[in-house]
Amino acid sequence: MNQTMKKMTPAAMARVCNGIYHGSASVADKEISSITTDSRKVSEGGLFIAIKGARSDGHDFIGSCFDAGAMCCISEKALPDEERPYIQVKSSLEAVKQLAAYYRSVLDIKVVGITGSVGKTSTKETIASVLGKKYRVLKTLGNFNNELGLPLTIFRLRDDDEVAVLEMGISDFGEMSRLTAIARPDICVITNIGLCHLENLKNRDGILKAKAEIFEGLKENGSVILNGDDDKLVTVTDVNGKTPVFFGISNKSGVYAKSVATLGLEGTKVVISGVGTKDIDVIIPVPGKHMVYNVLAAAAVGAELGLNADQIKSGIEELKTIDGRNNIIKTDKYLILDDCYNANPISMKAALDILNMSAGRKVAILGDMFELGDNEEKLHFEVGEYLAATSIDVLAAVGKLSKNIVDGVISYKNVHADTCSCRTYHFDNKEALIDVLPDILETKDNILVKASHGMEFPQIIQNIKNM
């Protein structure tokens, strides 16, 4: 990298993470160029943090990292034979978090922290697209939203960045407290309180409590932006003496959609009110009702950071989709809705709504949803009932839990045989599905592919693209 990391010297970093610096005094006050925990990504003048993982131990690669140009390394072990500079710490993982918190504190930058049960990534992308019309923006890449991923995102910031849009994901109490202490957001956005991570959080009240930990790290005079159509979030009436800004379709107390008109898979036409003195008439280029909420959140954030209506409109209309996240793929034979990065009951139903908008035959390829706790079978069954009430023609379900989706469709059909004609298939694994895809699919089909990440459904997407 051309830029060094502001105030990130071996001496300063040793102090921050209560480590012991071993090495030349001439290096101690030099700013490093980058930080990584991946030995394959070490750059000239960078810092390598050795972490012991389940499959490999980063300490085994310290020597090769120095050879690749690292200025300094962080190690939990003493390195008596190593003459090059290193910092010895008790815990490398803790050092990562401590260094990220310090680095965030020395940068003059606005941070937007985003959490919620569903839609974090698409909301992040929308907010970043809008803010990019006025600021130099850095955003979370991929799923770097946990206690290791968030620091690694922060380490990518440089002094000329103006806004960081950070996705923050959790699965248990206390995790958000630790994340927000690192990120210190100026603006907190919560998308919704849905049904995920129920093994630890038990119910939606528990999820709300865990997500609301994000407010603990909110900067003084910071802003809170919440989904006002969510029955749990709307109960949050005060954060640090300030009233949250709500966004919604039904709730018209803050930033809201005055009108919503679907354009099918081509997107949605929306009129946004509550931002500045005039309405924003905009076409969202990505389909789905959930995108309306993402856009409203982005408009609210944009207004908080001084963007005008034209900038907000432009940022929305230039929004790009990403693989696995409501991404529409057109082939010679099919139109594929690639939403297979992850899944839970709310996002699954939202994706089915999008598929249902399409003209022509509709095929849903669905897989297991994980981390749903004791009610997992019931929640899959309810997705099946929901699907059966649409005009979707074919369901191909993959996985043990997804047998319950099929059962939900069948149960609905037994009562509504006159209105539901959905044909159902169940497969134990994706390989069994792939073998018969040519028999199930027809030319010009609209195909939704969705499951939890662990089901590895991108393989199905690739096979359909190659047909």
Among 57, 89, 121, identify where a domain stops: 89
Report the candidate in 122, 95, 127, 94 with the shortest Cα–Cα distance to residue 111: 127
Same structural domain, 121 and 265: yes
Domain that residue 14 falls in: 10-89
User: Does a structural domain hold residue 97?
Assistant: no
Query: What is the distance between the alpha carbons of residues 116 and 365, in angstroms, rounded to a whole number?
Result: 25
Same structural domain, 67 and 24: yes
Helices (H), 305-369: 309-317, 345-357
The model's pLDDT over 313-328, given as tens digits with 9 standing for 90+, comes to 999 999 987 666 778 8
Same structural domain, 385 and 452: yes
pTM (global) more than 0.85: no
Report the candidate in 251, 304, 249 with the shortest Cα–Cα distance to residue 113: 304
Tokens coding 377: 């079978």
Q: Which residues pair with 74 in a beta bridge?
A: 49, 87
The amino acid sitting at 249 is: I
Same structural domain, 333 and 268: no
User: Does a structural domain hold residue 245?
Assistant: yes
> Could you tell me what percent of the chain has a pLDDT over 90?
82
CATH number for the domain that contains residue 35: 3.40.1390.10
User: Does a structural domain hold residue 342?
Assistant: yes
Query: What is the distance between the alpha carbons of residues 102 and 8, in angstroms, rounded to a whole number?
Result: 9
Query: What is the distance between the alpha carbons of residues 230 and 194, in angstroms, rounded to a whole number?
Result: 9
CATH number for the domain that contains residue 282: 3.40.1190.10
User: Does a structural domain hold residue 4?
Assistant: no
CATH number for the domain that contains residue 391: 3.90.190.20
Report the candidate in 358, 361, 374, 336 with the shortest Cα–Cα distance to residue 450: 336
Report the candidate in 272, 296, 396, 401 with the shortest Cα–Cα distance to residue 345: 401
434 neighbors 459 (Cβ within 8 angstroms):
yes
Half-sphere exposure of 274 (CA within 13 A, CB side): 24
Dump the DSSP string for 33-62: S-EES-GGG--TT-EEE--B-SS-BGGGGH
Report the candidate in 170, 116, 110 with the shortest Cα–Cα distance to residue 137: 110
Radius of gyration over every alpha carbon of the chain, rounded to an integer in angstroms: 24
Among 35, 61, 89, identify where a domain stops: 89
Same structural domain, 305 and 407: no
Report the relative pairing of strands 35-36 and 110-115 from DSSP bridges: unpaired
User: Does a structural domain hold residue 1?
Assistant: no
195 neighbors 372 (Cβ within 8 angstroms):
yes
Enter the DSSP assignment of 242. B
User: Does a structural domain hold residue 3?
Assistant: no
User: What's the structural domain count of the chain?
Assistant: 3
416 neighbors 424 (Cβ within 8 angstroms):
no
Task: Find how far residue 6's CA is from the centre of its chain.
Answer: 27
User: What stretches in the chain show pLDDT beneath 50?
Assistant: 1
Same structural domain, 70 and 198: no
Query: What is the distance between the alpha carbons of residues 361 and 377, in angstroms, rounded to a whole number?
Result: 28
Query: Three-state DSSP class for 198?
Result: helix
Among 317, 352, 378, identify where a domain stops: 317
Name the helix (H) or strand (E) containing 223.
Answer: strand 223-227
Report the relative pairing of strands 223-227 and 245-248 from DSSP bridges: parallel
User: Does a structural domain hold residue 281?
Assistant: yes
Same structural domain, 206 and 287: yes
Same structural domain, 249 and 382: no
Same structural domain, 252 and 369: no
Same structural domain, 121 and 248: yes
Tokens coding 433: 């599905």
Provide the b/e sequence for 437-451 (b: ≥16 CB within 10 Å): beeebeeebbbbbbb
Residue that has been written with the tokens 């925990």 in this structure: 37
Query: What is the distance between the alpha carbons of residues 365 and 376, in angstroms, rounded to a whole number?
Result: 19
Query: What is the distance between the alpha carbons of residues 12 and 204, in angstroms, rounded to a whole number?
Result: 42
pLDDT of residue 324: 63
Same structural domain, 153 and 64: no
Same structural domain, 190 and 60: no
250 neighbors 270 (Cβ within 8 angstroms):
no
pLDDT of residue 1: 43
User: Does a structural domain hold residue 99?
Assistant: no
pLDDT of residue 114: 97
